[in-house]
Copies of this chain bind each other. A is one copy, B any other.
Amino acid sequence: MDQMARAIANLVMFLEFSPQDILDEDAAMQALEQLAGDLNALDESSQHALSASFRSIASNYEGEDRTFVEQLPEALGLHGTVGEDQPE
């Protein structure tokens, strides 16, 4: 799941951090909401696994990106975001 999480994290960062002259802010918000909805339709165990993968791959990112990826489970409203399946 880690590599799938990486693909999604990179897309989310593109949507989130592209400036307004590159990507319209309202359109980006809609795309992020669509994504969150699609991921929330994953079965519960897949959401847990994806959340764990976001936390796991975050160490491959630097600085603010790392924090952003770590917090993706909460930002996307995934199951497994209250700490019960965090690695430590």
Contact = CB atoms under 8 A, between A and B. Distances in A.
Is the contact region of chain A dominated by helix, strand, or loop, or is it mixed? helix
Interface residues of A, number: 23
Q: Copy number in this complex? A: 2
Interface of A: 3-4, 6-8, 10-11, 14, 18, 21-24, 27, 31, 34-35, 38-39, 41-43, 46
Contact of A10 (B21, B24, B35, B42): B35
A10, A11, A22, A39 interface centre (most CB from chain B within 10 Å): A11
A76 B11 CA distance: 15
A3 B45 CA distance: 13
Contacts of A21: 24
Contact of A3 (B6, B10, B23, B42): B42
A4 B46 contact: yes
